[in-house]
Structure 1
Amino acid sequence: MNYLQFVRKNTVMVVFGIIMTALSSFGQTFLLALYVPFLMDEFTLSNGLISTFYGVATIVSAAMLPKVGKLIDTIPLKTFTLGTTGLFILALFFLSIAQAWWYIPLAFFGLRLAGQGLYSHIAITSMSRYFDVNRGKAISLASLGHPLGQAILPALILVLIGVVGWRESLWLNAALVSTVVILFTLFVLKPEHLKPETDELSQGDDTENIAIKVRQRDIMKSKAFWLLVPNIFFIPFAITGLFFYQFAIVDFKGWDHGIIAGGLTAFALASAFSILTAGPLIDKYRARAFFPFYLIPYFIALMVIWLVPNVWAMYVYMVFMGLSVGFGSATVAALQVEFFGQKYIGTVRSLFTSIMVLSSAVGPTLFGIILDAGWGFETVFPVTLVMLALIIFQSMRSIPKYSRAKWKFKLKRIGKYKGLKKPKEL
């Protein structure tokens, strides 16, 4: 089944997934950062203080995600979505009426938990649970909401802020989220759309039916968990950290700030392309076949932005970073199901999502410490590259032993062939 056939058959679920990931942007760093200058000016806050508010709110939301996110396994999807939307709208409204500094960390907490955390969690968990044969395509299509939000919403929000003001723009954000999600969930998403692609979950295999409920403490003891954690931690850690200081990177390279907009567009397009490419490949070969390799383009991206002085390096950096992020988002999501199964995927994903949210708080903080210490990007890029190389190397453990044995056998045969002496001419 190709993408067009899949979308025609599962239009409602695909649209639902895209809506949830796209609107999660209102809780993501790249959009919230647009409000930071106004909050600093309104409440006379320093860079360090508002960064602390943001970091603490992100860390607390990450700690809450495993407890809240696993409820999607026991609460109906529509109920869970509406409850999360209520929290999201409340956080947007609370930030818009802020009268003192303490409103800000509370609003940030709600936005990070509901937006970055739970909205993305709902989208990918539902795709992982209700699709089996076409899981890669489902996850990839739902993940398209992320580059869609990155490409459209920042410019739209800046226009709104310029026209109506930052507080009023938050009201419009809340109105958009509430109208789209509530109406779609109540009146478009029907029970017939929430049936598994196969009867695996309803009738189930014997393993699923007799399995004891998965506990998060047991997940954390598994080899699969520790195989996935470094990869899941690294991408948000590095992406958020480098995006947070993207103007500083441009200054470090001596380029004009105007290049950032074009770079972000290139990032979004590359991310969308790699997401769509990943889906059919994952369905055909399974996610673990690509797990060790999807970070290699990001390694190339970091090498280019560090070593190449030319302006075109910005676009190469953004494109290769987008390729890794897009392919990785689909690969890691599908791999969680391959390792832990579908039945309690909400419990599994909530744990990994909390790690992702936590890492997005650590990145800006660590890079900020390095920059404040005067070491600059001459240190940031090599440190990040070393971390990435180690993570790529440890990811090789996901390759099945029989695959590695086949590769070794082929290499030996090639070596023997090359080592053969040419027959003497008669």
Structure 2
Amino acid sequence: MNYFQFIRANGVMVVFGIMMTALSSFGQTFLLALYVPFLISDFSLSNSSVSSFYGIATIISASLLPKVGKLIDTVPIKPFTIATTFLFAISLLTFSLATVWWVIPISFLGLRLAGQGLYSHISITAMSRYFEENRGKAISLASLGHPLGQAILPAIILIVIGIIGWRESLWLNAGLVTLIVIIFTLFILKDKHLQPEGGEINVSPGVSKEKKIRQRDIIRSKEFWLLAPNVFFIPFATTGLFFYQISIVEFKGWSEGIIAIGLSAYAVAGSVSILTAGPLIDRYRAKTFFPWYLIPFFFAILGLWVIPNTWSMFVYMILMGLSVGFGSAILAALQVEFFGKKYLGSVRSIFTSMMVLSSAVGPALYGIILDAGWGWEMVFPINLVILVPIIIQSFRAMPRFTRAKWKFKYKRIKARWQIHPS
């Protein structure tokens, strides 16, 4: 089944997945950052104060996600989505009505928990749980909402803010999110759309139906520690690099105008790699590709560090987009392959929490290094040094038969070369 056939057969679920990831943008850093200048002006705050509020809210959100996110294993997905939407809308309205500074971190907490955390969690959990043979395609299509939101929403929000003001734009955001999600969930998403593709949802391999997997058991498993470094690194590095992208451009001596073009290249590369990953996962399993997807990220950072030419920005953005896009599909599918589907909400909420936490740690750590005067000459090699052991340990996830097959092919090629060296 190709993408067109899959969309034709599962259009409602595909729209639901893309809708939830795209609307999660209202709780993501790249959109909330647009409101920072207005917060500084209206509340007489400093940049460090706003970033501290944001960081604290993100860390608290990460700590709450495992407890809240696992409820999707016991609460039907439609009421869970509606409840999350009300939290999201209330947070947006609270943000717009803020008159004292302490309301800002409370609003940030709701937006980070409901938007960045739970909306993405709902989307990918639904795609992972209700699809079996075409899980890769389902996850890839749903993940397209992220680059879609990044490409479209910032420009629209800036125009809306310019016309009606920043507070009023938040009212509009809250109204649109509530209206779109509630109408779709109540009137378009039917029970027939929420039937597992592969039949009844089973527990993970080796676990009896009577035994419940606790989150502490998940954290203690070898599969968790195999995935954890990869899950942590991507949002850690990308958030830090995007947060200080102007500083990077200044370090390289380039014009700031190159950033917008680079981000477009990043979005296109990410979308292409997401769509490429889906059929490959369905055919060969995610484990087969797990060790490889971070390698383009390594060369992206290496190229940005050592190549002085302007074109290295595009190489950097394209390679990073390929890694992030492919990795988002790979990691989501691997969580099902490693832990099964019955307790997927508990599993995904832990990893989503880790991703949210790492997105707060990245900018903070980069900021400390830069403030210490070490500069990007230190940040880039630190990222590379971290990446190498993560890539190496990822090969432990590769199926044994795949490694044996590659070794066999290598020996055949080597033998042919020895016979016909020319």
Structure 1 residues 214 and 308, CA gap change in structure 2 (3 angstroms): same
Distance of 2:282 and 2:136 partners within structure 1: 5
The equivalent of 2:285 in structure 1 is 286
Count residues with an aligned counterpart: 421
The equivalent of 1:49 in structure 2 is 49
**Quick one: which amino acid aligns to residue 337 of structure 1?**
V
The equivalent of 1:157 in structure 2 is 157
Query: Secondary structure of 2:125's match?
Result: helix
Residue pair 1:340, 1:348 contacting (<8 A) in 2 also: yes
**Quick one: which amino acid aligns to residue 261 of structure 1?**
A
Distance of 1:54 and 1:349 partners within structure 2: 23
Could you report, residue by residue, the CA deviation over 1:74-132 in whole angstroms, capped at 9, with x for unpaired residues? 00100000000001001111111111110111011000000000000000000000000
The equivalent of 2:329 in structure 1 is 330
Q: CA RMSD in A?
A: 1.6
Residue pair 2:43, 2:100 contacting (<8 A) in 1 also: yes
**Quick one: which amino acid aligns to residue 170 of structure 1?**
L
The equivalent of 1:134 in structure 2 is 134
1:368-379 matches, within 5 Å, as 368-379=367-378
1:208-287 matches, within 5 Å, as 210-287=209-286
Distance of 1:96 and 1:144 partners within structure 2: 29
Could you report, residue by residue, the CA deviation over 1:182-208 in whole angstroms, capped at 9, with x for unpaired residues? 110011011101000121328x89967
- Is structure 2 residue 97 aligned with structure 1 residue 97? yes
Could you report, residue by residue, the CA deviation over 1:339-387 in whole angstroms, capped at 9, with x for unpaired residues? 0001111111001100000000000000000000011111111101111
How much identity, in percent, do the aligned residues show? 68
Distance of 1:114 and 1:329 partners within structure 2: 19
Specify every segment of 5 or more residues in structure 1 that has no aligned partner in the other structure, as ranges.
Answer: none
Q: CA shift at 1:150, angstroms?
A: 0.3
TM-score, length basis structure 2: 0.97
**Quick one: which amino acid aligns to residue 23 of structure 1?**
L
The equivalent of 2:68 in structure 1 is 68
Distance of 2:204 and 2:310 partners within structure 1: 55
The equivalent of 1:118 in structure 2 is 118
Specify every segment of 5 or more residues in structure 2 that has no aligned partner in the other structure, as ranges.
Answer: none
Distance of 1:374 and 1:265 partners within structure 2: 31
The equivalent of 1:353 in structure 2 is 352
The equivalent of 2:187 in structure 1 is 187
Could you report, residue by residue, the CA deviation over 1:265-295 in whole angstroms, capped at 9, with x for unpaired residues? 1111111111100000000000000000011
Distance of 1:83 and 1:205 partners within structure 2: 28
TM-score, length basis structure 1: 0.96
**Quick one: which amino acid aligns to residue 271 of structure 2?**
A
Distance of 1:41 and 1:314 partners within structure 2: 33
Q: CA shift at 1:44, angstroms?
A: 1.5
The equivalent of 1:78 in structure 2 is 78
Q: CA shift at 1:241, angstroms?
A: 0.5
Residue pair 1:288, 1:398 contacting (<8 A) in 2 also: yes
Q: CA shift at 1:400, angstroms?
A: 2.0
Structure 1 residues 97 and 227, CA gap change in structure 2 (3 angstroms): same
Could you report, residue by residue, the CA deviation over 1:235-258 in whole angstroms, capped at 9, with x for unpaired residues? 000000111111111111111111
Q: CA shift at 1:326, angstroms?
A: 0.6
